[in-house]
Structure 1
């Protein structure tokens, strides 16, 4: 649709036969050149965000974990206003001081699902090269980078 495109993100590495079949036959999967692992999740999502920004700069991004179900007709009601926004629940999670030297993480949207406007995605991608990566991807994108982006 004009407003919503569903894309499933996969990295490289061991991929099941059913996923390979889906990759070859469907237009709903994006494979990025990042090894599939939890430690690489931030890099995999960053690659996807860059692809979205380059190929669909006018689209909102609803990032969801694979075990989440969204009522897309309801989500589309949120997309009426194209402004800088991040929408989600605010949580705090532990990241070791050796990884992130500040005592507190910035507030961030919890990772099972969050929504970003095109302007928010663009601002986050502009500051991404300056962000020190850590494994808590939701805190990295919607906390650290969003805070740096203003």
Structure 2
């Protein structure tokens, strides 16, 4: 009921081919957000500081202007950290970014211990996060894990920016889901969510769909 028929435009299938890779971070971004990506590469996403981590920036196509795509191609060749698919990059297509990332992880990153999803306007305290995950791993929490700030029994809004009509989602409350600022998955969860996405009707609120409806 929910095929993901989009083609990969830019990617680096070798990004996870790193010995003892602890974490892959996938970041929702837009083609024209180069400065945000540059800041992340120079700070919390700097692989010189965190050699056991890799960052992948996920986007759709936002422009038919050849120069912008050429710039993305150059950026991808330089850094090897872009995942671009050919769906239209709009606010209501954010779910496609998440599914595209889960697809990529399922195919190329099963050697990674943890996956972090975040956005390009978020600053991650990577030291604290990795230390916390290492403590959890030491306590045996390294499988079937979704770790986040959870929204419990959140009402479905019928007005405003996140308005959802009843014909699209008839329930009055969402299932428990992760707030989209950031959430962590143990890597075994990624292919389970991706496989489930084919059998669950598309829903444009990406955090609710991926971390809530699919996990349920």
Q: Distance in 2 between matches of 1:129 and 1:76?
A: 32
User: Match of 1:61?
Assistant: 115
Pairs aligned (count):
147
Contact 1:32 1:48 survives alignment (8 Å): no
Q: Does 1:137 pair with 2:206?
A: yes
Q: Deviations over 1:40-83 (max 9, x none)?
A: 11112201110111000132221101110112232223152421
* Distance in 1 (alpha carbons) for counterparts of 2:170 and 2:56: 35
Partners of 1:145 and 1:104 lie apart in 2 by: 15
SS of corresponding position for 2:55: coil
Map of 1:52 onto structure 2: 105
Post-superposition CA distance 1:85-123 (Å, at most 9, x none): 111112225343221222221010100111111122122
**Higher strand residue share:** 2
Task: Tell me by how many angstroms 1:20 deviates.
Answer: 4.3
With the length of structure 2 as denominator, give the TM-score of the two structures: 0.62
Question: Which stretches in structure 2 are left out of the alignment for 5+ residues?
Answer: 1-17, 23-52, 158-163
3-state secondary structure, aligned to 1:113: strand
Task: With a CA cutoff of 8 Å and minimum separation of 6, indicate the structure with the bigger relative contact order.
Answer: 2
Task: Name the counterpart of 1:33.
Answer: 86
Instruction: Output aligned runs, 1:102-141, within 5 Å.
Output: 102-141=171-210
Give 5+ residue unaligned stretches, structure 1: none
TM-score w.r.t. the length of structure 1 is: 0.86
- SS for the counterpart of 2:121 is coil
Query: What is the rounded CA distance, in whole Å, between the counterparts of 1:115 and 1:12 in structure 2?
Result: 26
1:99 to 155, 165, 168: 168
Q: Deviations over 1:4-46 (max 9, x none)?
A: 2111112113247754431232112111232211121111220
1:71 counterpart = 2:103: no
